[in-house]
Chain A
Amino acid sequence: MSGSTYLVIAYIIMWAGVLAYLGWIALRMRGVRTELESVRELVREREQAANAGRAGDE
């Protein structure tokens, strides 16, 4: 293989690696945001249930 071929291989690996890593971070970010939203929703539901219980006691 010539030097140009090695150069092209190196550039492809490097930039494909960077882009794949950016994509992986985006997937992780989406996953954790979804998790955060669902847990926030659970907390809200619990608080509403607790408030409703207190209102019922009164």
Chain B
Amino acid sequence: MNTLASDPAKSGQQESSKPLGKGLLDPVRRYGEYVLGGALAIGMLVSIWAAFLGTPTDAVQGDVQRIMYFHVPMALLAFFAFFVVFVASIVYLLRRDERWDWLARASAEVGVVYTTMVLICGSIWGKAYWGTWWDGEPILTTTLILWFIYVAYLLLRFYSGRTESGARNAAVLGIIGFVDVPIVHFAVTWWRGLHPTGYVLNGATPDTPASVFLALLLAMATFTLLYAFLLLQLYRLERYTTEAERLRAQVEYGDDSAS
């Protein structure tokens, strides 16, 4: 079978089994995850506090505007997650090192989760402010297309198994799919719609209180930590799954290359 596991030289198995920076990075490996998890828990609490109590109520939108404090950071980090898929896919196609494939797969999953949250929360905000759950305006439509592209990416990964051809096809989709990210970002300026344009991030409103920027920055930091934490877990999951499949192949078929 043409699996990543069946060709360790090509798939980078030998490289992936090598510990990188052993000794020097040991404390980071051992305690880094706990520090990250602790910082994330604190960040979540502080961000919720800042969004609910640390910022003034919007004069036009009212309380529902506070959805922005996680809607905007999640959207930006979803773009970043797909950018990581884009870069990791290019490097995978150039080097055929499976660790880049694991990274692309992990980042795509986090990106899809973030985009799902963005669509759900944006829809709730739309119902409260526009009076409709969904409007076929450009940024909503292009974001939905983005979601479909990366759901298709994950389905491709799932149904093609851990084969080299599956990884290659997914890498191509990960590169082509990224084309939609700038389209989503510029949709509000290219095709004017109902969606707010550059509400805070572009500095379009000089009267915006500093606490609003601070709350956004806090939420941005929290969701970045969450992205890093999820990426770490999913990358490790990919590594363990690949190792388990190799050992299983070794046991069932006596495949020496799996060891």
Contacts and interface: CB of A to CB of B under 8 A. Distances in A.
The 3 A-B pairs with the shortest beta carbon distances in the complex, nearest first, are A3-B64, A6-B128, A3-B62
Interface residues of B, number: 34
Contact of A6 (B48, B124, B248): B124
Interface string A13-57: 111011001100100110011011001101100100000000000
A4 to B, nearest CB: 5
Contacts of B230: 21-22, 25
Nearest to B248: A39
Interface string B235-249: 011001101100110
B57 to A, nearest CB: 9
Interface of A: 1-4, 6-7, 9-11, 13-15, 17-18, 21-22, 25, 28-29, 32-33, 35-36, 39-40, 42-43, 46
Interface string B121-133: 1001101110000
Interface string B101-127: 000000000000100110011001101
B124 A32 contact: no
